Amino acid sequence: MINKAYWENKKVLVTGHTGFKGSWLSAVLRHFGSEVIGLSDGSILSDEYKTQDRKYIYKEEFTLDISDDMSDFRRVLSKHEIDTVFHLAAQGIVSTAFQYPLKTIMSNIIGTYNILDLVNSYENINSLVISTTDKVYLETSKENTEEDKLGGEEFYSASKASTEHIINAYLKTKKRNSLNVGVIRSGNVLGGGDGAKDRIMTDVINALKESNEITLRMPESIRPWQYILDSLTGYLLTCEYVKTQSVDEVFNLNSLSNNKYTVKNLTDEIVEAWKPDTDFKIKIKKSELQETETLIINSNKANKLLNWSPKYEIKDIAEKIVSWEKSAFKGKSITSDQITDFYS
């Protein structure tokens, strides 16, 4: 259970606040009474971000490339007396990493190092939570725990695994004692308002709105599906834990009950929740990308130490997605309603 008093009046910086997870996280933090400062390079604007009442959610927003000159970032930290940072800014699309590997390396590895180094130099900040991915593991098809070896067989997963090695080295050699760092390896996060290309949820929603036909590249692949608010609850609990326990920790976040569904299963659930007027057609096209067929991660550590467990099953998630998307299509945001309902 989230400690609401912990978050009230916190001064929180969210990097990647215009993206899918970052915009939802910002709304959740504001819901709990935090003062939210957003920072992103402006290249990704999620549908959730586009629908937000940004004057209400954000104390201030900044546009900054974290892989470049960071002098402006220091001024952001000083101006708002930040005490907590969630680092979500990243190049997060596997297909984009395949096309633009250098951009991915700069954003994910160099950008994270820059954030870590500057946060470490700013004494007022006591907590930093960094988002990586479930794809960092060497043997992706087994049920990995946080202790299993890291790998990376394509540019995206390699960039994230490399980032974790950099984080680990930094924690051992340079980190000040008063800074506590949490690293989160979460599964495939689902919810309304993503909007990013080459993500199954966005592709299915767009197909339902426009053509009633979709092409799946890996219909039988299995992923650690989880609802956006289930996942972000884990982010907040991680931050609370590393701060109150004065530790650095890595946590997997996954719903094993949802980790049995294929891409095709998820597609069917969203289509059923949408109830299209005409038949929805699914085509198959073999992927040119090198992607693992099955991803499974074990979140027993988060269950035990954070008392974290996901609330929503895949059918519930599909219904939440469809409800959000249909409301947004009519010009109404129900993010606040979904947050209030989830935490009530």
Compute how many other C-beta atoms are within 10 angstroms of the C-beta atom of residue 56: 10
Q: Which domain holds residue 76?
A: 4-343
Q: Which amino acid is at 213?
A: E
What is the structure's pLDDT at 169?
Answer: 98
- Are the CB atoms for 27 and 36 separated by under 8 Å? no
CB contact burial 115-139 (16+ within 10 A = b; e otherwise): bbebbbebeebbbbbbbbbbbbbee
The domain that contains 301 carries what CATH number? 3.40.50.720
Q: What is the dihedral of CA 305, 167, 144, 289, to 10 degrees?
A: 140
User: What is the C-alpha to C-alpha distance for residues 49 and 44, in angstroms, rounded to an integer?
Assistant: 10
Q: Report the pLDDT value the prediction gives residue 95, as an integer from 0 to 100.
A: 85
Q: How much is the pLDDT for 290?
A: 65
Work out how many domains the chain is built from and give that number. Answer: 1
> How do the pLDDT tens digits run along the chain, 344 residues long?
899 999 999 999 999 999 999 999 999 999 999 999 999 998 889 999 999 999 999 999 999 999 988 888 888 888 999 999 999 999 988 889 999 999 999 999 999 999 999 999 999 999 999 999 999 999 987 999 999 999 988 999 999 999 999 999 999 999 999 999 999 999 999 999 999 888 888 999 999 988 778 889 889 999 999 999 999 999 999 999 999 999 999 999 999 899 999 999 999 999 999 998 888 888 888 777 667 888 999 999 999 999 999 999 999 999 999 999 999 989 999 999 999 999 99
Specify the pLDDT at position 140: 85
